[in-house]
Amino acid sequence: MDDFSDFTPRRHSRRRRLPPQRSSVRITWKELEEPFVRHVGNECGLSGNTQAAYRRDVAHFFDWLGDRIMTDLTLSDFLDYLGSLRTANLAPATCARHLVSLRVFYRWLQLRGIVKRNLTALLESPKLWERVPSVLTVKQVDRLLVAPNPDEDRNWVRDRAILEIFYATGCRASEITSLTLEDYHPREMFCRCVGKGDKERMVPLGRGAVDACSAWLAVRAEILDRAKPPLAAGKTEAARPLFVTRTGRPLRREALWELVKKYARRVGAPEEISPHSLRHSFATHLLAGGVDIRVVQELLGHASIQTTQRYTHVDFERMRAIHEKFHPRS
């Protein structure tokens, strides 16, 4: 007979109830698009341009998903997605932005209980090389500003005013398109710019910019008088855009890009010159002239001085070239 004297009966612990597992559900971008864009606009306070970029990036992610289910993706799947971005020959900065869009999207999904873990938080951003901004020389800028002319360009008065404002203020293209008549103060020779995060700054204007804008305002008044039906109904004249098309409609950022590219080609400027190059040139020329970097930071609307410091690298390249040319032992 077996001896069970040492046997201690097992105590039956109360069975722990596991939370119900969420079944894999295929959710389309169409269902999530508008709520997500409202979230990044209203709760994150991102600008309209950033909202549009996030919308495009997440739509691109859903195109890549194909038959995959969004809630079932693993870390390996996300790495495959980043690999597909690199395979598409996107710039490192663009890949980094796609990843930021995806992180914000999945953080939002986690807040809504659609996913349990935000695996995108484990992904490292691609390392970005700090590129020296492309800039124009002072002589190239002088040629660019007078490139629009009545013999070749129908909108030469407007285009010359836009180029002058670009270089006088260092504004971004989106800031130029959002300028209104009430932002422009020719008598005091400054304009009010609204940058990223709706941050306002006052930027002085030179005589060349004021004169070019005065000539444009006369043409602009004729354009808006001819516009039928009247555009921007309910808005005061001062609240209308400073720069408009031939039909009186607001200019798009893409139109400014094409405008700068057109005149840059005409004066023989490098192919990579863009509207942002005029912003870079504005900052670089000020620093080269001895302006304090904190003043340049304020004029550009940079939140961090580190962003402005990259322009000192451009000026360093110029100083090194001078050193190599003139120093006896360079």
Active-site annotation, residues: 172, 196, 276, 279, 302, 311
Q: Is the peptide bond before 230 cis (omega within 30 degrees of 0)?
A: no
SS3 123: coil
| Main-chain phi, psi angles of 192, to 5 degrees | -95, 120
Q: Which of 64, 71, 65, 58 is nearest to 119 (CA)?
A: 71
Q: Which residue has the tokens 């990579």?
A: 272
Spatial neighbors of 143 by CB under 8 A, at least 6 apart, are: 267
Alpha-carbon distance 104 to 123, whole Å?
13
Alpha-carbon distance 214 to 208, whole Å?
10
Sequence-ordered alpha helix ranges (H) in the chain: 29-38, 48-65, 75-87, 92-111, 138-145, 156-169, 173-177, 207-226, 253-266, 275-288, 293-300, 305-326
Cβ–Cβ under 8 Å, residues 37 and 49: no
Cβ–Cβ under 8 Å, residues 176 and 162: yes
Q: Which of 250, 251, 278, 253 is nearest to 264 (CA)?
A: 278
Strand (E) or helix (H) holding 204: strand 200-204
* Residues recorded for the chain: 330
Residue 93: what residue type? A
Alpha-carbon distance 87 to 89, whole Å?
5
Alpha-carbon distance 234 to 87, whole Å?
49
The first and second tokens of residue 142, run together, are 């002088």
Spatial neighbors of 105 by CB under 8 A, at least 6 apart, are: 36, 54, 58, 61
